[in-house]
């Protein structure tokens, strides 16, 4: 069993009845299990000669050009200036660069986007999927009924949100594009190629758009995550493999993850700005912005990262984009009084810090205007790993869970979510990473049937169309007699499911 805690995906191999994923979560692990820790730094600096990346946020009413001159004077090199939101991406090897540039009157905030120096990174396979076997594929195809895709019988998640019924009304509009801000999308996959939007695809890993053909794809050995997400949203209904929630809409790849698996601020900002300016109607964000799981407003570096990403998401929404994000996989109450974050910074030496989730935000999931999605398993109960929080979770969707806790009805064999895999294959993953694209797909169906709807209207229709769910109380997912999480609130507005389960059929009703 492999549980990736630093992302939005939990990978649980098929058929393994093993100890609860909760046993692996950092908020319940003992100090002895976690090993020795050192306090997390309250600011980031590099020794002279070590180049770091920074974001410099221009104070409203001040000139970006003048700030760029100040950047050069302080020892920085401008990589790109997003003047439309007042964010400048900078590289500098000066240890005191951030301290110096913050003194300039035109700078609202500035901070290092990482703790590790800029350097070539090795490729890291994250969230390795459980691959679909030939036997499973043949059995599914044999069980498929007229009108179904060959693997659709394995997609228990579709009927849960009534996507199969929605497809009888419409598959969605090819005028609508969902941007997958992620690890890259393999547009050569036969289930994705018919719906891929090349013009809206890009590589943003450096913080600067790279439109080289195919730059949006994961390189060999890189994560399948983004391709899996793309298939959940828009795998075509073409008689091949699986089918997405919105199989008639377009999907684009906006690659923001480094080969080592980090989603740094400059790349995330680039991704949202790109989406805003290239006709992307919906973005899916199944990650948190590295290296801090939570960015605290009282930390000079983290405050700057929070501001930069916030400006980017707000800009995208002003341009007409609905931003959907995964809530995370640590079984944390994001509306609670405190959280032990012992995994930040994840590109350096993590340290224990107790944070106030009202002052330290998981971005982009907790930013204003972003639709925050919790995960449920095959029985419609909060997934063992899913974060929650009253007033934080907007809506719930299938993200899967171990079959030990939530087993789907036959002929489906896995409690995880089926998706497309680079190279033309299919595989299973679980996590709020898988829940979020279901909501992004439903949002795309809403935009298809309400083409003139603004983001606030699409979000309102998402909430109104959701199937209201009561709290799961008591929530003892592993049956050991101990409550594993406390649900607060009433039907249709609670900390586990927000406004309820997303509903694709309601999305396509005029």
> Tokens 């240890």 label which residue?
95
* pLDDT tens for each residue of 234-271: 999 999 999 999 999 999 999 999 998 999 999 999 99
Please tell me the predicted confidence (pLDDT) of residue 5: 36
Please tell me the predicted confidence (pLDDT) of residue 128: 80
Beta strand segments in 452-497, E: 489-490, 493-494
Please state the length of the chain: 510
Please tell me the predicted confidence (pLDDT) of residue 1: 28
Tell me if the bond preceding 411 is cis, omega within 30° of 0. Answer: yes
Neighbours of 209 (CB within 10 A): 17
Beta strand segments in 6-51, E: 10-11
Res. 39 pLDDT band, cuts 50 70 90: very low
Please tell me the predicted confidence (pLDDT) of residue 371: 98
Return the DSSP state at 430: B
Closest C-alpha among 343, 300, 269, 293 to residue 101: 300
- Cα gap 17→63, rounded to integer Å: 59
* pLDDT tens for each residue of 325-359: 999 999 999 999 999 999 999 999 999 999 999 99
- 3-class secondary-structure state, position 395: strand
Tell me if the bond preceding 419 is cis, omega within 30° of 0. Answer: no
335 and 250 housed in the same domain: yes
Closest C-alpha among 249, 333, 260 to residue 284: 249
296 and 381 housed in the same domain: yes
Residue 41 lies in a domain: no
Residue 26 lies in a domain: no
Q: Among positive and negative, which fits the CA dihedral 354, 359, 363, 367?
A: positive
**CB 251, CB 234: distance < 8 Å:** yes
348 and 222 housed in the same domain: yes
- Cα gap 103→437, rounded to integer Å: 42
Q: How many domains does the chain have?
A: 2
Residue 22 lies in a domain: no
64 and 92 housed in the same domain: yes
**CB 265, CB 363: distance < 8 Å:** no
Neighbours of 15 (CB within 10 A): 10
Maximum CA pair distance of the chain? 68
Please tell me the predicted confidence (pLDDT) of residue 368: 97
190 and 62 housed in the same domain: no
Distances (CA, A) of 438 to 14, 89, 178, 406: 21, 32, 12, 18
Please tell me the predicted confidence (pLDDT) of residue 350: 95
222 and 280 housed in the same domain: yes
Query: Range of 60's domain?
Result: 52-112
* pLDDT tens for each residue of 88-141: 999 999 999 999 999 999 999 999 999 999 987 777 656 689 999 999 999 999
Res. 49 pLDDT band, cuts 50 70 90: confident
Return the DSSP state at 368: T
412 and 501 housed in the same domain: yes
CATH of the domain at 72: 3.30.70.80
Distance of alpha carbon 237 from its chain centroid, rounded?
25
* pLDDT tens for each residue of 444-476: 999 999 999 999 999 999 999 999 999 999 999
Mean pLDDT over residues 317-327, rounded?
A: 98
State which of 91, 112, 133 marks the end of a domain: 112
Residue 359 lies in a domain: yes
Mean pLDDT over residues 67-76, rounded?
A: 98
Please tell me the predicted confidence (pLDDT) of residue 259: 92
State which of 88, 112, 136 marks the end of a domain: 112
Tell me if the bond preceding 364 is cis, omega within 30° of 0. Answer: yes
315 and 389 housed in the same domain: yes
Strand-pairing partners, residue 178, are 251, 282
**CB 292, CB 282: distance < 8 Å:** no
- Cα gap 10→5, rounded to integer Å: 7
Residue 34 lies in a domain: no
- Give the 3-state secondary structure of 264-301: EHHHHHHHHHHHHHCCCCEEEECCCCECCCCEECCCHH
Residue 24 lies in a domain: no
State which of 112, 142, 158 marks the end of a domain: 112
Q: Among positive and negative, which fits the CA dihedral 274, 371, 266, 249?
A: negative
92 and 127 housed in the same domain: no
193 and 78 housed in the same domain: no
Please tell me the predicted confidence (pLDDT) of residue 13: 39
**CB 231, CB 242: distance < 8 Å:** yes
205 and 85 housed in the same domain: no
- 3-class secondary-structure state, position 170: coil
Burial degree of 239 (CB within 10 A; 0-12, 13-18, 19+): exposed
Residue 368 lies in a domain: yes
- The answer to pTM > 0.85 is yes
Return the DSSP state at 429: E
Distances (CA, A) of 150 to 57, 146, 378, 381: 50, 10, 20, 27
Distances (CA, A) of 258 to 47, 118, 208: 23, 11, 13
């Amino acid at each position: 069993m492999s549980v990736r805690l630093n992302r939005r995906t939990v990978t649980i191999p098929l058929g393994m009845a093993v100890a609860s994923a909760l046993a692996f979560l950092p908020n319940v692990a003992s100090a002895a299990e976690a090993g020795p820790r050192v306090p997390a730094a309250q600011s980031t600096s590099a020794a002279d000669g070590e180049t770091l990346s920074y974001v410099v946020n221009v104070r409203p009413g001040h000139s970006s050009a003048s700030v760029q001159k100040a950047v050069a004077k302080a020892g920085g090199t401008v990589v790109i200036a997003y003047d439309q939101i007042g964010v400048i991406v900078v590289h500098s090897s000066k240890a005191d660069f951030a301290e110096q540039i913050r003194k300039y009157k035109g700078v609202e905030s500035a901070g290092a986007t990482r703790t590790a120096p800029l350097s070539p990174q090795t490729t890291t396979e994250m969230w390795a999927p459980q691959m679909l076997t030939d036997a499973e594929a043949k059995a599914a195809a044999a069980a498929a009924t007229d009108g179904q895709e060959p693997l659709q019988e394995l997609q228990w998640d579709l009927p849960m949100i009534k996507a199969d019924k929605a497809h009888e009304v419409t598959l969605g509009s090819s005028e609508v594009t969902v941007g997958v801000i992620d690890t890259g999308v393999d547009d050569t996959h036969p289930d994705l190629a018919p719906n891929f939007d090349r013009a809206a695809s890009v590589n943003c890993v450096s913080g600067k758009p790279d439109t080289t053909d195919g730059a949006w794809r994961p390189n060999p050995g890189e994560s399948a995550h983004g391709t899996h997400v793309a298939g959940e949203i828009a795998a075509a209904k073409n008689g091949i493999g699986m089918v997405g929630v919105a199989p008639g809409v377009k999907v684009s790849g906006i690659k923001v993850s480094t080969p080592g698996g980090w989603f740094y601020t400059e790349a995330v900002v680039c991704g949202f700005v790109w989406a805003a300016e290239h006709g992307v109607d919906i973005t899916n964000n199944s990650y948190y912005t590295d290296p801090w799981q939570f960015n605290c407003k009282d930390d000079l570096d983290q405050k700057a990262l929070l501001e930069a990403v916030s400006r980017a998401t707000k800009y995208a929404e002003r341009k007409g984009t609905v931003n959907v994000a995964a809530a995370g996989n640590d079984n944390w109450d994001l509306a609670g009084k405190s959280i032990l974050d012992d995994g930040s910074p994840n590109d350096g030496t993590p340290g224990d810090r107790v944070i106030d989730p009202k002052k330290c935000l998981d971005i982009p999931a907790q930013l204003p205007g972003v639709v925050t999605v919790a995960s449920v398993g095959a029985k419609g109960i909060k997934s063992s790993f899913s974060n929650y929080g009253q007033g934080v979770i907007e809506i719930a969707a299938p993200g899967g869970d171990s079959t030990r806790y939530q087993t789907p009805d036959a002929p489906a064999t896995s409690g995880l979510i089926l998706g497309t895999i680079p190279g033309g294959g299919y595989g299973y993953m679980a996590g709020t990473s898988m829940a979020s694209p279901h909501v992004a797909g439903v949002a795309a169906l809403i935009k298809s049937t309400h083409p003139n709807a603004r983001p606030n209207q699409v979000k309102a229709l998402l909430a109104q169309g959701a199937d209201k769910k009561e709290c799961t109380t008591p929530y003892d997912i592993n049956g050991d007699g101990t409550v594993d999480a406390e649900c607060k609130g009433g039907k249709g507005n609670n900390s586990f499911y927000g406004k309820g389960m997303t509903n694709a059929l309601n999305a396509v009703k005029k």
